[in-house]
Amino acid sequence: MNERQTSDVRWVQLVERVRSGRDQRAFAELFGHFAPRVKAFLMKSGADASLAEECAQEVMATVWHKAHLFDPERASVATWVFTIARNRRIDALRKQRRPEPEDLPWGPEHEPDQSETIALQQESEQLGRALAALPDNQRMLIERAYFGELSHSEIAAETGLPLGTIKSRIRLALERLRHEMK
């Protein structure tokens, strides 16, 4: 047995001792070996030192609590530990990208001024007239696609029309609407 295989067997034995007897000495040895390596791994993947330290602590806590889930037939201890580390890093990134409740805007929304309201109302009326001026077969498809939020395929299934016909009619209708809205 070479040195690497010997150390792999040793790590498996330590995890088994943690799993079966909550052996703190075995865990301390695992922690002493893997925690600094996990921290370095996380820092190389872009985490700052404090986040890497926090994640490394969480990874090792997971090793302690989930030792019963380790299967030496599926992976080495190192692979298992670094997979946990990678997953913690992904979770930390997701958490950073998610706005905290205090970052969300609260309170009354911006009230549009009177000129914005009038312009929007005029535009809506113009669109209504343009829609009414469309041929019935085009208007019906536009209404289903944009107001009914149906896909072209769903409209084809509902109406029995070929998909190409639906796409052509919608394209023609949109061109007419663009022309009317200028």
Rounded-to-integer distance, Cα 136 and Cα 143, Å = 10
173 burial class (0-12, 13-18, 19+ CB within 10 angstroms)? buried
Residue 106, pLDDT score: 57
More reliable by pLDDT, 134 or 181: 134
Q: Give the length of the chain.
A: 182
Residue 145, pLDDT score: 85
Note the pLDDT tens digit of each residue in 87-103: 888 887 777 665 555 55
Q: Which domains does the chain have, with CATH numbers?
A: 3-99 (1.10.1740.10), 120-181 (1.10.10.10)
Averaged pLDDT score across all residues of the chain: 83
86 burial class (0-12, 13-18, 19+ CB within 10 angstroms)? middle
DSSP letter string over the chain? --HHHHHHHHHHHHHHHHHHH--HHHHHHHHHHHHHHHHHHHHHTT--HHHHHHHHHHHHHHHHHTGGG--TTT--HHHHHHHHHHHHHHHHHHHHHSPPGGGS--SPPPPPPHHHHHHHHHHHHHHHHHHHHS-HHHHHHHIIIIIS---HHHHHHHH---HHHHHHHHHHHHHHHHHHH-
Residue 105, pLDDT score: 58
**Token match 């944009």: residue?**
146
Residue 4, pLDDT score: 59
pTM of the prediction?
0.50
